[in-house]
Amino acid sequence: MKKLMIVFSVLWLPGISISYGQNKSKVMVMEIKAEIDPRMTRYVDLALDHAEEIKADYVIIEMDTYGGVLTDSKDIVDRILDLKAPIWVFINKDAASAGALISIACDSIYMAPGATIGAATVVQGGTGEAAPDKYQSYMRSIMRSTAEHNGRDPRIAEGMVDERIAIDSISAEGSVITFTTKEALKYGYCEAQVESMEEILKRNGVANFELVRFEISAVEKVIAFFLNPFISGILILVILGGLYFELQSPGVGFPILAAVTALILYLVPYYLNGLAQNWEIIALFVGIILILVEVFVIPGFGVAGITGVGLTVGSMVLIMINNDFFNFEMVPMNDIIVASLAIFGGLSGGVLLLFVGGVRLSQTGFFKRISLMDTQAQSEGYTSNFNNTGDLIGKTGTAYTVLRPSGKIMIEDQIYDAFSRGDYIEKGDTVKVLEIEGSTLKVRKVTA
């Protein structure tokens, strides 16, 4: 039997305690009263880390949840089983699905009157239909091994997952097991019916105790907020919009600052929560670099651009889901769909922002203050042409370099900057000057 117990609560502040007498046992308090997802996984990790830091003597989890993501539930169970302190769970309403699994992992289970535990069939998010058998088989094995670890009937644990399992006097084939408080007491899935956590402590002979109430910090609340797929989609929109407006008005600074900030807010929460792996982040930056190379170094849209877009979009999706280096066996299809919708929604919104917002931005007073709005016409003496090239229109020459579509041409032993109308022109081809734009010549290929 373990010697320590901890109680968690998202509503209470760390460092604030309630004391009863001298030589007090230290009890930390927490609640699991939300969906089991990456945010809850990180919360539990932080709570258990804090419990170890303060050397708490006892653990209780106040439970009321309908479940959540299978992989996150398994991570929480592993963390509970590894903790040296005993963990007792108080189910004050429901411990369904993943909540049942986490409860069975605890050393002792206590239930309030009217509470329930069970119904651990894995379902597909959104539809509510039973997930494929590979998920059910995985959940059955976890439930069985966890129940065995704490001396509970593993057959009953499997029956909470699989409706095909019939157990005499407990459940018939065709329905999964869900216990009320009295039924859980009868079949060894509850130690006692209690009204409060204080009653749990009293039953275990803990008279003098100090309650250490745990709450995640403001920074962790921000991290949890940005783990929301909808928020991730908005951040992607800000990244695209910031890059676009910075390219439209180089040197302004604010758009690129917004893009960098959004990128950090997108990556850091997923990295801290263990979803974003190093190779996924590297793939993202490689994709961005390839896109920039395609835009600024290799005109057109070729292999670099297509590869860059693929790496960027693909890595953003992978960052949001709990895959094991392209192993999606335990990743629910709903998670993949949600991540994909968030990414493509952000990209679509970004493109829309570029077309609509770009025009409106150029008409704002702020943009006019930071941008040159006057037309510097040649008739007023303005020119960017430092060469006497006015008499070159209509002349022919040869391509001194490849034009893709820009490059250099040679006319009468003089080399000039030039660009085509979008066509690629090979070195040595004959070209004709069509017009002059600034200090650059617009040319076309002369065919026989």
Mean pLDDT, residues 169-198 taken together: 89
pLDDT tens-digit profile of 328-346?
665 666 667 777 777 777 6
Mean pLDDT, residues 112-138 taken together: 81
Structure tokens at 393: 């229109």
Confidence class for position 261, pLDDT limits 50, 70, 90:
confident
Contacts 24+ apart (CB under 8 A), 437-442: 438/383, 438/384, 438/385, 439/384, 439/385, 439/386, 439/387, 439/389, 440/406, 440/416, 441/389, 441/392, 441/409, 441/416, 441/417, 442/418
Which domains are present in the chain?
6-216 (3.90.226.10), 219-365 (no CATH), 384-445 (2.40.50.140)
Q: For residues 209 and 192, which has the higher predicted lDDT (pLDDT)?
A: 192
- Category of 238 on φ-ψ map: left (φ > 0), alpha (ψ -120 to 50) or beta: alpha
Res. 99: pLDDT tops 80: yes
pTM to 2 decimals? 0.61
Mean pLDDT, residues 261-275 taken together: 81
pLDDT tens-digit profile of 371-420?
555 555 555 555 555 455 557 888 999 999 888 788 899 998 888 988 88
pLDDT tens-digit profile of 73-93?
999 999 999 988 889 999 999
Tell me which residue of 44, 92, 95, 39 sits closest to 67, measured CA to CA.
Answer: 95
- Category of 274 on φ-ψ map: left (φ > 0), alpha (ψ -120 to 50) or beta: left
Res. 98: pLDDT tops 80: yes
- Per the prediction, the chain carries an average pLDDT of 79
Q: For residues 128 and 367, which has the higher predicted lDDT (pLDDT)?
A: 128
